[in-house]
Amino acid sequence: MNSFSEKLTPHLKKLIENGSNAISRQFIAGELKSTPERNFISHDPLKEDNFIPVRGIVHKYSNRVLWKLSYECAAHCQFCTRRRQVGSKSGDLTKKDIKAGLEYILNHKEIEEVILSGGDPLFNPKVLNYALEGLIKIDSIKSLRIGTRLPIHCPQMFDNPILIKTINIISKYSKELPIYMLIHINHPDELTRESVEVIKKLRNKGLILMSQTVFLKDINDNTEILDKLFREIYFLGVIPYYIFRCDYVKGLESFVCDIKKEQEIMTELTKKLSGIAVPTHVFDVPGKGKIPIPLNFWKKIDLSRCSDFEDKEVLI
Ligand SMILES: *Cc1c(COP(=O)(O)O)cnc(C)c1O
Ligand code: SF4
């Protein structure tokens, strides 16, 4: 039995009580849907579990690794790509696992960047501290990323002394190498006064802030909503990095948007927004590579198939 259940924070509950449809659709568990003929057959369509040299590390691209420090998050996004893992204690890395991970990174000089992920690494600041302490000593590491959704799930946690200490350590390290904090934000309703305050605080700590968004059917697949979202994000000093086509995870079909509609929205946004405020629209194909989805300015593009990084054809 999968441990991925419904999990909300008081902060998110309040937003739902105040009538946010976008929040309730993202966090209240609904019916899972899969039609096998549409490729929604795998719990791990990105095949992450095929690229694990050491517990916690996903080494899919040669110069950078993803390091999952734990599988826990403050709340559970129902469309989570890693719902096969998230919510389980079994992903918490021990000191021994972290040592093994650091050794792997140290011994693979081609790795220049580590992307700390999970779960949510900020939800487990002790493990994060320990990993950071080791990473900062490795000369071949030129930049770090930290993927989080905690400022949205639970901005109140940033008053917690352990997390404050971690943020200060991250801030100190960011003087030595660039640390990119990637905040997962999907809808303007998520940018509450409390979350905005946390984002402003993080910006004043010297981190480079970027955002990631997932296209979600009937939640944000709308030009006005995304226009507002990216404008607000950009004017907070956060650079929208990627907007993902929702991964084809078994059960998640009802979250996946029409690709043509996604393309049209991104094309409209390109006409309206500052260049820096328009994220790259990608699909993480079930082979290897986040493949950019072309805009609608070019004629006769077939959105039903593409090639992955290894030039293998993938049906969309
Ligand atoms: C997304 C991802 C990365 C980072 O890719 P970028 O395109 O550099 O953001 C690295 N490793 C894995 C396994 C990923 O899924
Ligand atoms: S924050 Fe990320 S890892 Fe955690 S449940 Fe949401 S999508 Fe999944």
- Tens digits of per-residue pLDDT, 124-137? 999 999 999 999 99
Confidence band of 48 (pLDDT split at 50, 70, 90) = confident
Q: For 175-225, what is each residue's pLDDT tens digit?
A: 999 999 999 999 999 999 999 999 999 999 999 999 999 999 999 999 999
Dist. CA 249 → ligand 1 center (Å) = 17
265 Cβ closer than 6 Å to some ligand 1 atom: no
pTM comes to 0.96
Q: How far is the CA of 219 from the centre of ligand 1 (A)?
A: 25
Tell me how far apart the alpha carbons of residues 167 and 7 are, in angstroms, rounded to a whole number.
25
- Residue identifier of the C-alpha nearest atom 8 of ligand 1: 64
Distance CA 238, CA 183 (A): 9
**Average pLDDT, integer, range 153-167:** 96
Cα of 297 from ligand 2 centre, angstroms: 33
Q: Is residue 61 in contact with ligand 1, taking CB distance under 6 Å?
A: yes
For residue 282, list its beta bridge partners: 244, 292
Is the distance from the beta carbon of residue 47 to the nearest atom of ligand 1 less than 6 Å? no
Is 3 a residue whose pLDDT tops 70?
Answer: no
Q: What is the 147 CA–ligand 2 centroid distance (Å)?
A: 10
Q: Whose CA is nearest to atom 5 of ligand 1?
A: 290
Q: What is the mean pLDDT of residues 44-71?
A: 93
Q: Count of residues for the chain?
A: 316
Distances (CA, A) of 199 to 27, 158, 169, 279: 21, 10, 17, 18
Nearest to 294 by CA among 256, 264, 316, 255: 264
Please compute the mean of the pLDDT values over residues 91-110 and round it to a whole number.
Answer: 96
Q: Is the CB of 43 under 6 A from ligand 1?
A: no
How many angstroms separate the CA atoms of 80 and 56, rounded?
18
Which is it for strands 57-61 and 64-68: parallel, antiparallel or unpaired?
antiparallel
Residue pLDDT, tens place only, 63-99: 999 999 999 999 999 999 999 999 988 888 999 999 9
Instruction: Give the model's confidence band at 1: pLDDT under 50 very low, under 70 low, under 90 confident, else very high.
Output: very low
Task: Give the type of residue at 53.
Answer: P
Identify the band that residue 34 occupies on the pLDDT scale cut at 50, 70 and 90. Answer: confident
What does residue 309 show for φ and ψ, rounded to 5 degrees?
A: -60, -20
| Domains along the chain with CATH numbers | 10-235+248-255 (3.20.20.70)
Q: Does any ligand 1 atom lie closer than 6 A to the CB of residue 66?
A: yes
241 lines ligand 1 (CB under 6 A): no
